[in-house]
Amino acid sequence: MHGGAGREGAEERAPRRAGVARAVEVGWEVLARGGSALEAVIEAVVVLEDDPHFNAGLGSVLTVEGTLEMDASVMAGETLAAGAVGAVAGVANPVRLARAVLAEGREVLLVGEAAAALGERHGLPRCAPEALVTEEARRRWRERRPPTGETVGAVARDGTGHVAAATSTGGVAGKRSGRVGDSAVIGAGTYADDRLGAGSATGPGEAIIRLCLVRSALELTGRGLDPAWVAEHALAELERRLGAAAGLILIDVAGRVGIAHTTEAMAAAWRSDETGRTLLVG
């Protein structure tokens, strides 16, 4: 689980780490009762979408026009089924909306009003867009200050060996209305394949999209390379070629984990049968 790579104020450190630890525990509970990796990553991401300390769902950053538009995606490694939404508003949990797109199996990416309407058909209630705007997000918008975190995301491998990934974000501060970042782009911010592993990225979406960051990294884990090394290598390549700092979490087909960031901070946590408890990173 990651809670976004970027800057972090001292007052944000404790609540953000508590948030990612809580999210990991929720995902772990899903796996412990025999749930799928896909269900686990969705439920984990929902925890952070509902937490105003993160830039996803409640507390998302605002566009330059002062509105809120969110992106999210999910992918299941067993079937390569994927669903994504971009520039959506009035939906409390965009990751559930992305899951609804996956469930229909017709499109992979839907944006704006069409995505929100699909969610209603799947029983996802709408909310007033203003209900997701926190006073902190409004203050940062007025002062033209960036958020303390970026995207949130989760990866998991379940008891049957299947992997999944999910990512959700409010986007980058100061973005223009209609901008869609890497969190809605399969292969860039999110990817899962039972033959390779699963990953979720966080950082400047335009750079992550151009390098197809997560899919490129998973090509290396698919060759048996250690995900911890791969995550560091992929971010170094992103910085070398595009001058961008970001964060990345990976899990391979054996359940090995890689967590890395080249930004100032990135709250992250993970758990496995071997650890027996949730471990905080960063």
Reply yes or no on whether 151 is catalytic. yes
User: What residue spans of 67-195 are helical by DSSP H?
Assistant: 94-104, 112-121, 135-142
C-alpha–C-alpha distance, residues 59 and 225, integer Å: 37
3-state secondary structure at position 140 = helix
Both tokens of 273, joined, read: 């049968």
Pairing of strands 190-193, 257-261: unpaired
Query: Backbone phi, then psi, for 228, in 5-degree steps?
Result: -65, -45
Q: Which of 129, 145, 131, 189 is nearest to 165 (CA)?
A: 189
71 secondary structure, DSSP code: E
CB 269, CB 278: distance < 8 Å: yes
**Which tokens sit at 211?**
């390098």
| From 63, 148, 151, 221, active-site residue | 151
Cα 52–Cα 54–Cα 57 angle in degrees, nearest 5? 70
Helix ranges (DSSP H) in the chain:
10-32, 37-49, 94-104, 112-121, 135-142, 205-211, 213-221, 227-242
Q: Which residues are catalytic?
A: 151
